[in-house]
Structure 1
Amino acid sequence: MRKPRDFDAELKALEDKARELKTRKIQQLGDLVIVTGADALTAEELAGALLVLAETKDPGRKEAWARRGAAFFQGRARRSAGASDGNDVSAPAQPSGPHSPSGGTGAA
């Protein structure tokens, strides 16, 4: 005879996974706000800007924002992959999330 499935345990495991994913998403959004410098805005300014972005229906504008965002991330990847260029001012903007869990500066 087969062992019956424990639906309660499976449901709890799925709820735990959903909670973990939501927590990770919130952490990543917070990291994004910090790395872009938007943490210098007040909560009201940031919320207002995000509302405008969310309400925008113009696909051309959204595509321009997407290109600018992609260029931002590509530029960060190049800076973090290359040797230090003496720009010590940008050092605090390096991600402290999953990419550098030890908080180290790298092996260069």
Structure 2
Amino acid sequence: MRKPRDYDAELKALEDKTRELKARKVQQLGELVVATGADALTGEELAGALVALTETTDTGKKEAWAKRGTAFFRSKSQRSAKPSDGNSSGAPAQPGRAQSASGGASAA
């Protein structure tokens, strides 16, 4: 004879997992804000910038932002992977500032 499923326990486990994932997402977003230096902005400035970003439909801008973000994460992982290496790549590291993939600053 099969054991009956405990739907209440399964639902509670799913709710707990959802809560845990939401908390991790909030923490990671906060870490991203700090890592990019956006924590120097006021809440209103940051919110306004994010709203403008989400309203943008220009795919060229979005692709440029994605490339810049990729470059930011690559440079960050290279810095943390070789902390005592002394930056042997020859390119000066710019902590707190990501350089765009095209070499220039992109406008929002």
Fold-level similarity (TM above 0.5): yes
The structure, 1 or 2, with the larger RCO (C-alpha pairs under 8 Å, 6+ apart) is 1
- TM-align CA RMSD: 2.0
> Which residue pairs with 2:42 in the alignment?
42
The number of aligned residues is 90
Secondary structure class of the residue paired with 2:2: coil
Partners of 1:70 and 1:42 lie apart in 2 by: 25
Displaced runs of 4 or more, over 4 A: none
Fraction of identical pairs, as percent: 68
Corresponding position: 1:27 with 2:27: yes
Partners of 1:53 and 1:32 lie apart in 2 by: 16
Q: Superposition pairs for residues 85-104 of structure 1, below 5 Å?
A: 85=86, 90=95
> Which residue pairs with 2:2 in the alignment?
2
Partners of 2:83 and 2:18 lie apart in 1 by: 39
| TM-score, with length taken from structure 1 | 0.77
Partners of 2:24 and 2:81 lie apart in 1 by: 24
Partners of 2:55 and 2:83 lie apart in 1 by: 41
Partners of 2:8 and 2:80 lie apart in 1 by: 45
> Which residue pairs with 2:75 in the alignment?
75
Instruction: Give 2:43's aligned amino acid.
Output: A
Structure 2, unaligned runs of 5 or more: 97-108
Partners of 2:39 and 2:19 lie apart in 1 by: 25
Partners of 1:24 and 1:8 lie apart in 2 by: 24
Structure 1, unaligned runs of 5 or more: 94-108
Partners of 1:83 and 1:46 lie apart in 2 by: 31
Q: Which has the higher helix share?
A: 1
| TM-score, with length taken from structure 2 | 0.77
